[in-house]
Amino acid sequence: MNRHLPFDPALTRRTALLAGSAAGIFAGSGAAFGQISFEDGQPGTLPGFAEDVLARMARWEAHGWKRGRVGDMRSRITLVYRTDPEKTRALLPPPFEVDPEALVYFNSLNILVPPGYDTVLAPGPDYGEVDLSVTCYYKGLRYQTSLPWILTRDFGRYAGREGAMLRKKDGFIHHDFEDGVATSYTVRQGRKMLVFEGRWLDEPAHPRAWYRERGNGELRVDMRLHADWTKGPFSDLPVELWRHFGSPEGEPTQMPPDTGDHARFPRRLDLKNTRFSLGDASPLDPYIDLPVLEMIDGSIGDSSQVGVAGYAVPRERGTGQERRGAGGGMREKIAELDPAEMAPFAFWCRAYDPPIFDNKVKVPAGWPDRGSAVAASPEALEGWKTRAAMRLSDADLLLVDFALDPTVYGRSLPPGTNPARPVLRMIGANVRVSDFATVPFTEIWLLTPCELDGSEVWYALSHIVSPDGDVLLGRETWGYPTKQAEILTIEPGADAISLRLRRLHREVAAGRISRTAASPASLDESFTVLGIQSLGVSDAGTRNARYVTQPWTVRIRTAERLPPAAIELGFPREASPSRIGRKDPWFEFDGASVTQSLFGSGEIARRPGAYASGPLGAEIRAASAERNDAPGGDDPHPSTFLIRSD
């Protein structure tokens, strides 16, 4: 199985930059050509897709787009259209009221990252977001609330979901320009959606159509699904309604007078030469439930132009701008919601995929022509609550156990646990049928045993999935350290099994396992996996986390036992290019000796979980850092599994 992002060919092609192309970017930096100097002195090479990005930037510049502070280029598209208010009724949870003049806001963002400035947040070649929100009423005020946001990069997804309640999900985004036409679309689990194509006019856009103009604000729901799904969809935490952003003065009402700034406004879309389609019907991301009746307005612009933050415009209750910053009322908790009433919308609240059963989603009869896929049906909720396990029910499984140096092993354990056995277990799976996605995917784990409250658990050090694998449910419900790979392949051949894992433009693991000396075997083993669940940001603004356990059973029915001498696995130490640093430090276990290896067809069953601790304090931050690619942002320093100093 070969699961990779659509830009993979550019990743693996190491092209040389022309000196003239790079000169402007690195002038005065003091860095040698082909290298970037990190603050800690560790070099990082230029990314292999550098030449492609520079060519794309040149094309954007030809369309009038300008570079930002560090040479980045940003493009923002917004389209406002009218939809059927009755269609919105089925997708709004109980406290929200239908807007009789319902509007939908489509937003598409793309950032081209100049070679040398690739970071964990925007590791290149670009960074994209696409979202769709609809207007509604709550206690007499008109707000917006969103359907899923599609986001191409892990770090922005962590930060947005776990720190700001954004409904961000994984997916591929196209956003580009060619011959005076802007194009955008997104693809997720094989479905192409939100397809935009349009031209623009040389005149300022009305502020109501500026990128992510939210009027009175955007309503978001903060909650967690229960680790033990037999207790219902919601966890023991409250279900809270929050208002984010928006302006105290409400929605824009008119164009501000031109005092010389109109030239800096986003440009108005030419609706006569704009086409927009909701695309394929997806029960995972049911944008199709908001049909386009009439395009109203739109804008397109770059980072050199004014926007909703920092520019005051005439609004319903006076002239004002969007709230910004913690002290500026950027977000506010406005209500606690009834979990029983919200149950059908539990998966909508944070844009989780609806319950999946063997690659399938239960949708209302007649959908998408009738009904809505946003609210889970009673049948789907009952199936979620009564399932015995969530399964990878048809998979090729590779299990490799390593003996670790006791000192390295001891330093890798999370706080509050005690050593058990100095063992590292790698489990890889080519998954064909599962309860986690509607399409096949590949995933790989690193686990190590320890004791928690007197019982042995296997601490999840690393979990990386191919595109289309689950990056939300396991991470936020059972605390797994889930991230998305650029390339993850486990390819069984007649004589050998090959493995490759690449993430953030660096090789994390690679190897070959010979099958020529294999012997028959089988495996049926149960154990409990330990995760660290982020609880988001509390009212006091502090991050909390807690331990969650989940029992697993791994069965390999027709297995091959592969002798240790047949296994060649390496965990490279190379850094990612530019300022990304060195995340996913599997290399800290390089040199560990293989004690057993099995490969064959089978299944993994994950049973209802349990909360294994109360909120953890500052001591958990070091363990949480690596799973969040911390320090992240512009910090290039490597992360580590070895968090204990004793």
Answer whether residue 14 shows pLDDT above 60. no
In a 13 Å sphere around the CA of 329, the CA atoms on its Cβ side amount to: 12
Tell the CATH topology of 388-627: Acetoacetate decarboxylase-like (2.40.400)
The pLDDT of residue 116:
85
What are 595-617's pLDDT values in tens digits?
999 999 999 999 999 999 998 88
> CB within 8 A of 581, min separation 6: which ones?
38, 44, 120, 575, 635, 636, 637, 638, 639
Q: What is the DSSP letter of 224?
A: -
What are 61-87's pLDDT values in tens digits?
999 999 988 889 999 999 999 999 999
Please report which confidence band the pLDDT of residue 147 belongs to, taking 50, 70 and 90 as the band edges. very high
| Interval 126-144 mean pLDDT | 96
Task: List residues bridging with 215 in a β-sheet.
Answer: none
Place of tokens 């089988």: 522
Answer whether residue 539 shows pLDDT above 60. no
64-357 carries CATH number 3.30.1300.10 = no
Q: Is 26 helix (H, G, I), strand (E, B) or coil?
A: helix
Q: Is 338 helix (H, G, I), strand (E, B) or coil?
A: coil
Q: Which residue, among 511, 478, 507, 533, has the nearest Cα to 585 in the 3D structure? A: 507
Please report which confidence band the pLDDT of residue 210 belongs to, taking 50, 70 and 90 as the band edges. very high
What are 614-640's pLDDT values in tens digits?
988 888 888 888 998 876 555 566 789
More reliable by pLDDT, 335 or 634: 335
pTM above 0.85, yes or no: yes
- CA 84 distance to own-chain centroid: 30
Q: Which residue, among 233, 223, 169, 353, has the nearest Cα to 608 in the 3D structure? A: 233
| Interval 337-347 mean pLDDT | 95
Compute and round to an integer the Cα radius of gyration of the chain.
Answer: 25
The pLDDT of residue 24:
25
Beta strand pairing call for 455-465 and 482-484? parallel
Task: Determine the Cα–Cα distance for residues 414 and 420; give it in Å rounded to an integer.
Answer: 13
The pLDDT of residue 8:
29
Task: Determine the Cα–Cα distance for residues 104 and 100; give it in Å rounded to an integer.
Answer: 12
Out of 24-38, 229-243, 285-299, 379-393, pick the least confident.
24-38
What are 390-423's pLDDT values in tens digits?
999 999 999 999 999 999 999 999 999 999 999 9
Answer whether residue 205 shows pLDDT above 60. yes
| Interval 161-182 mean pLDDT | 92
Q: Is 472 helix (H, G, I), strand (E, B) or coil?
A: coil
Please report which confidence band the pLDDT of residue 35 belongs to, taking 50, 70 and 90 as the band edges. very low
Share of the chain above pLDDT 70, in %: 90
Please report which confidence band the pLDDT of residue 461 belongs to, taking 50, 70 and 90 as the band edges. very high
Task: Determine the Cα–Cα distance for residues 555 and 392; give it in Å rounded to an integer.
Answer: 10
CA angle 465, 467, 473 (to 5 degrees): 60
- Largest Cα separation within the chain, whole Å, is 80
Please report which confidence band the pLDDT of residue 538 belongs to, taking 50, 70 and 90 as the band edges. low
Mean of per-residue pLDDT scores for the chain: 88
What are 276-325's pLDDT values in tens digits?
999 999 999 999 999 999 999 999 999 888 888 779 999 999 999 998 76
Report the C-alpha dihedral over residues 232, 234, 235, 238, rounded to 10 degrees: -140
The pLDDT of residue 1:
32
**365 exposed, middle or buried (CB, 10 Å; 0-12, 13-18, 19+)?**
exposed
Check: CB of residue 517 under 8 Å from CB of residue 532: no
All CATH 2.40.400.10 domain ranges in the chain, comma separated: 64-357, 388-627
Answer whether residue 6 shows pLDDT above 60. no
Copy the structure tokens of residue 238. Answer: 């409250």
Answer whether residue 54 shows pLDDT above 60. yes
Copy the structure tokens of residue 545. Answer: 């986390």
Q: Which residue, among 209, 207, 96, has the nearest Cα to 144 in the 3D structure? A: 96
Answer whether residue 33 shows pLDDT above 70. no
Composition of the chain by helix, strand, coil, percent to 5: 15, 40, 40
Task: Determine the Cα–Cα distance for residues 29 and 113; give it in Å rounded to an integer.
Answer: 17
Check: CB of residue 423 under 8 Å from CB of residue 447: no
**199 exposed, middle or buried (CB, 10 Å; 0-12, 13-18, 19+)?**
middle
